[in-house]
Copies of this chain bind each other. A is one copy, B any other.
Amino acid sequence: MPSTRAPHIFFNSSPVNSPEVWRAALTRQLGDLRFTVGPDCADPDTVDVALVLRPPPQGLAAFAQLRAVIALSAGVNQFSADMLPAGVPLSRAVDPSLAEHMVSYAKAAVYRYHRRFDLFERQSRAGVWRFEAAKLNRETTIGLLGLGELGSAIALALVADGFSVEGWSRSPRTLDGVRTHAGDAGLQAMLPRMDLLINVLPLTEATTGILSSALFARCREGACIVNMGRGRHLVEDDLLSALASGRIAAATLDVTQVEPLPADHAFWGHPGVLITPHVAGIIQPESAAQQVAENIRRAMRGEALLNRVDLAKGY
């Protein structure tokens, strides 16, 4: 049902998103609006749109007049169909800067290994000066797991920098300058050549635990892993074993099974593991507000949303 009154937006708090910055950015786009900051909401049945990184603990069932849920993340595995009131669409906030953030994070991880800065960091602490000849970019082969919007942007940026880049996705994709693979056989064929694997897959039933002993066993001895996807893509004990055996030389993990990573976790202080506190890509209000506001307008007018998520596929 179309509506011209000011939208009532429910915003669930999260440690990485400031409600005040979102409120200001959306007010600039939409003018008058009502903005309730969760997790609590006194009158859930007046809320039009829920804007959430994660659904509130009490769920969304009480939000009886909800027109849309907008996820403040590129991955939407935190949602399931039974979490949404019947018939309410889920869409993703799209931040044009997100791909730029992901590309820059990927480059930080790639160049660190490619130019052996991880080794030189340890040697700097230990007082060791040992010359080591550098490889040219084309001598390092990088495999992308996931060739969606973000994976493709990373793959193309690394190709532009002269790296040898291959990529894998569930269904076949083509990408200029990237040797692409699909399906399970494609993954098995690609893995043995990779010096470095970057995971940016969506988290689905099929991809949960994909970074496991079985996958590491197909990798080149001494390969490096970069997980920019979700914590549950990685079987953490399998990585510890692969690091211990030397099969995997090092890993950069932006996501972990439990975040923040618990204080007693074996990843902390591990010489082969770099933990970054989920900083690779965050949806920022400054650059995402325009698309979010457009979806709020569409929801108020009863129109189809942009960037709607198919929860059966998981993205």
Contact = CB atoms under 8 A, between A and B. Distances in A.
B276 A117 contact: yes
Contact of A129 (B107, B115, B116, B261): B261
Contacts of A263: 127
A136 B281 CA distance: 11
Interface stretch (A96-104, A165-173, A205-213): A96-104
B269 A124 contact: yes
A112 B124 CA distance: 15
| Band of interface residues on A | 35 or more
Given A15-B131, A123-B275, A275-B123, A111 B107 contact: yes
Given A132-B279, A134-B282, A282-B133, A114 B124 contact: no
Nearest to A256: B129
A79 interface: no
B279 A115 contact: yes
Q: What is the interface of chain A mostly: helix, strand, loop, or mixed? A: loop
B269 A127 contact: yes
Contacts of A134: 101, 104-105, 279-280, 282
B279 A116 contact: yes
Contacts of A276: 115, 117, 120
Given A15-B131, A124-B268, A127-B268, 16 more contacts: A16-B131, A101-B134, A101-B136, A104-B114, A107-B107, A107-B161, A108-B112, A108-B114, A108-B115, A109-B117, A117-B274, A120-B279, A123-B275, A131-B277, A133-B282, A134-B279
A35 to B, nearest CB: 21
Interface string A266-291: 01111001111111101010000000
A275 to B, nearest CB: 5
B124 A259 contact: no
A180 to B, nearest CB: 24
Contact of A117 (B112, B115, B161, B261): B112
B104 A269 contact: no
A268 B122 CA distance: 10
B275 A129 contact: yes
A152 to B, nearest CB: 17
A177 interface: no
Interface string A116-155: 1100110111110111111011000000000000000000
